[in-house]
Chains A and B, each alone.
Chain A
Amino acid sequence: MEETQANSGGADEPIPFMQQLMDNPFLLLFIGVTMPTVFYILWGIMEITAIPIAN
């Protein structure tokens, strides 16, 4: 049967975790800022600061 609403199950059915995550824009914002900050910017800066300074 065609699904018409994300939470189309019965009112008593718990909302799945992934749907709770995707329905919360501020949680998405947190994840979307944290991931690249850690893996791209912080990791990159740590590698640059570890480069020995020429004498």
Chain B
Amino acid sequence: MTINRDFRTCPDTGFKIHLPADKLIKWNAVSGVVFLMIGGLFGIAVALTRWPAVHLLPADWFYLALTAHGLDVLLVWLIFFEVAILYFASSVLLGSRLASPKAAWAGYWLMLIGAVMTNIAVLRGDSSVMFTSYVPMKAAPDFYLGIILFAVGALLACFVFFGTLVIAKQEKTYEGSVPLVTFGATVAAVIAVFTIAAGAIILVPTLLWSVGYISHIDTLMYKVVWWGMGHSSQQINVAAHIAVWYALAAILFGAKPLSEKVSRTAFLLYILFLQLASAHHLLVEPGLSSEYKIFNTSYAIYLAVLASMIHGLTVPGSVEAAQRKKGFNKGLFEWLRKAPWGNPAFSGFALSVVMFGFLGGISGVMMGTEQLNIIIHNTIYVPGHFHATVVTGTTLAFMALAYWLVPTLWQKELVLPGLAKWQPYLFGIGMGLVSVFMMGAGTLGVPRRHWDINFADAVMGYDFPGAAHLMMGLNGMAALMGALGGAIFILNMVGTILWGKPKTKAAEEEAPAPAPEPVVATYGNAGTMAVPGTFTLAMVFLVSFVLYYFVNWKYLAGVWPLS
């Protein structure tokens, strides 16, 4: 068997890129963006239906669109892009050949065939079981088979990633420990393996049940194991987008982490405890004990929350340290004011850090508290929370990376650079508002996955307060704003790949000369802990966190008046 050892050198970064890895990164990233577009269109239809004054779709189409939206954006877009990140973080950052490109291509095609198969099953109209596909709701067999094929493909990609780490070590393409970004990607791959294993344990029998070989699947057993996949798949996103934050800080600012050891230990806490949060979805199940719920939903006594707060401190801290080294030392925030806010790779990254922490992080910890969870369980607060984590956190971080990755890999200029400057703000703020309005409506009791909160023709109706209707209307408007941002991103990416002007020599000369060894591919600390601006922002975060947490206890106390 011949091994492809062909590399090219990136003129912008100096990276040695293995040609098969180059192609696989491109195909996986583009496939992800296509599914983001498809899932985004379904998302607009869902948001416009939940806007009471518009109420776009009939009930059957609403549940079809909701199923397709959840599947395409929560699973397909993110996993395709994450596979691209895994190959980038292993083969490119370590300067190594990719292990078994053939297996990587087999994984890619399995993922693509699986995703298309499941989408067809949903669009046919006989599998509107939503992303969770809770039994005893039964979808067509090809719905489950498609997800299984997709998962097997993703598992192959994880094995290729681990194989590439082995090859890089054996062929000594790096010395010492792998770079922090590669370590973060390793954590994402570890979580992915558990996620896929949990998916296989539950989806294979569910497939057999849908074709009639198994007579019964216990609903609670299904929920427990399914959420081992469903929630853990979102934890892959967390680990991957934090690796992307560190990568962008290094690429844009030459920033090194404040402490490699602390950041790596925080990632280790993710490996140990992050996936336990799957139990969030089981907090009102009477068949499970409080001990089980509290241990798991607190990510083992909040140790994984601690890890997220460490990353939330060290990522902006590393940027501050790098900026101060360049002379932006005036006051607490000159380093932040003088940051490149017009560069979409930076603005997307900055908004992602802030909104993931403030909106997604704080609401997630509140929801994971057994007593507080009852206030918002199964309300639209829950999608409000995960639109903050997955959309303003992960998707925005991936978009920010794409603004650097696509022009660098394809060696083309962005087709709409002016619009690109505005895109992260439109998308990030739009989707941030979606999260806020959904969480507001959820606090007022508006249910999730509900076609009509007016309860037209219902035997037992319910009048939600006017504020709830207002929130749902504002949610629809904010979703349109976010969708406009999403459309600009997709136009920019697809347009750049298809019609972008090749980077000229003049443009290359204007760009700063690549460092001999890019910081993102090295091990090393910033060498300082003097980041007063970041510590001030961290204090603002902690005060907000504490206040919001206690406001919700106060709110819980008002649910059942005890006078």
Contact = CB atoms under 8 A, between A and B. Distances in A.
B275 A36 contact: yes
A12 to B, nearest CB: 16
A48 B287 contact: yes
Contact of B177 (A23, A36, A39): A23
A8 to B, nearest CB: 7
B177 A22 contact: yes
Nearest to B256: A2
Contacts of B289: 47
A36 B292 CA distance: 12
B288 A48 contact: yes
B177 A44 contact: no
B224 A45 contact: yes
Contacts of B198: 41
B220 interface: yes
Contacts of A29: 162, 189-190, 193
A43 B292 contact: yes
A19 to B, nearest CB: 7
Contacts of B300: 39
Contact of A3 (B191, B197, B524): B524
Interface string A18-55: 11011101101101110111011101110110010000
Nearest to A6: B177
Contacts of A6: 176-177, 260, 523
B221 A45 contact: yes
A4 B519 CA distance: 11
A25 B162 contact: yes
Contacts of A5: 175-177, 523-524
Nearest to A34: B194
Nearest to B224: A44
B206 interface: no
A14 to B, nearest CB: 15
B187 A28 contact: yes
B292 A31 contact: no
A23 B525 CA distance: 17
A40 B276 contact: yes
Interface string B267-289: 01001110110110010000111
Contacts of B96: none
B264 interface: yes
Contacts of B218: 48
A22 B270 CA distance: 12
Most buried by B among A6, A22, A40, A41: A40
A33 B190 contact: yes
Contacts of B220: 48
B183 interface: yes
A45 to B, nearest CB: 7
5 contacts: A6-B523, A32-B187, A33-B197, A40-B275, A45-B224
Interface of B: 162, 165, 175-178, 183, 186-187, 189-191, 193-194, 197-198, 201, 218, 220-221, 224-225, 228, 232, 260-261, 264-265, 268, 271-273, 275-276, 278-279, 282, 287-289, 292, 295-296, 300, 522-525, 527
Interface of A: 2-8, 18-19, 21-23, 25-26, 28-29, 31-33, 35-37, 39-41, 43-45, 47-48, 51
Given A5-B177, A36-B275, 11 more contacts: A4-B523, A18-B261, A23-B177, A25-B189, A28-B190, A31-B272, A32-B187, A32-B271, A43-B292, A44-B224, A44-B282
